[in-house]
Chain A
């Protein structure tokens, strides 16, 4: 992007969850379900001394995308690192389940997941885990009818059980600032040791789990500028493509073959991962 483009684009990353969700829906088509004024807060945070956000950090926006019925589920990364608890998790899982129901009744409701999340909210532990498992099942169900599109833009990225959710989606859209990974950098450093993985080395982290790297190693489908209009257009374009012939997890044989050929004796870096997985990307 050059300076003149910079001044014209509207940053998607700068937006909060609510604004992002409505930015993707057709203008004027959206309304919020189980919004903040319904006070579906987490019952678990205040007893632990944590101020609870009225929407539990998840926005459900129902409307249309490209004229077709759609629901956007947006996680607010600024609240508790976007971590999922009982209520927020239920909002996402429930919305996806209702979308699948719609399809079975002949209404082509599709879903977009805006993922800024560290995964399970530790303060809610098993409830968060259970909710994420339900989200996985609901994605697997809905994606038989309609594409499920995930967008990871930053600054939080998508980690933990929700990275598995991202991987289950039909299409994954990422920006340069995005990161997608199962374990967070500090956890990897703790487990593997600082010589192998230094969590303070930011370029290193992005070289392995950043948006561009995920795109080049075939684990993300679109690599886009941080531009709200552009991201909305990309989402519409992906829906127009329809359900892919095979989802990434269904190509497991392919990925297992690639993994089998990885030289585990050498320390992998971004370049090696691209060579091993990227088919020359």
Chain B
């Protein structure tokens, strides 16, 4: 089990919070809350060791816009593939957007 931290440049804090997913086998949950201005922080708790570089690569491709709302993201992962990770993060972020809060 590993606990990883990542951060990416961002704009003003988001509003509202959202949860997507469950910590089932091959799955993950994503909790998204408003972050500190200027930075999106992602904390990953994963049952799979040795994949820090993979999380970096996946998250880098997701949080590409330095003007996007700043988020505090927590991920609890039980061995999801990058494809599933991408989908859950997208699910969370689009729910936040739909609520007009990001």
Contact = CB atoms under 8 A, between A and B. Distances in A.
Most interface-central of A36, A46, A51, A54 (chain B CB within 10 A): A51
Contacts of A16: 22
A14 to B, nearest CB: 13
Contacts of A76: 22
Interface of B: 1, 17, 19, 22-24, 27-29, 31, 33, 45-47, 74, 76-78
Interface in A21-53: 36-37, 46, 49-53
A49 B78 CA distance: 10
Contacts of A36: 19, 29, 31
Contacts of A49: 1, 47
A80 B24 CA distance: 7
B27 A78 contact: yes
Interface residues of A, number: 14
A260 to B, nearest CB: 44
A89 to B, nearest CB: 17
Q: Is the interface of A mostly helix, strand, loop or mixed?
A: loop
B1 A79 contact: no
Contacts of A51: 1, 23, 28, 45-47, 76-78
Contacts of B47: 49-51
A262 B28 CA distance: 48
A75 to B, nearest CB: 12
Contacts of B74: 54
B101 to A, nearest CB: 14
Given A46-B1, A51-B76, 20 more contacts: A36-B29, A37-B19, A37-B33, A46-B45, A50-B1, A50-B47, A51-B23, A51-B77, A52-B23, A52-B76, A53-B22, A53-B23, A54-B19, A54-B29, A54-B31, A54-B74, A54-B76, A78-B22, A78-B24, A80-B23
Contacts of A79: 22-24
A79 B78 CA distance: 10
The 9 lowest CB-CB distance pairs between A and B, nearest first, are A78-B24, A53-B23, A49-B1, A51-B47, A78-B22, A51-B76, A51-B78, A79-B23, A36-B19
Given A51-B23, A51-B77, A37 B31 contact: yes
Contacts of A50: 1, 47
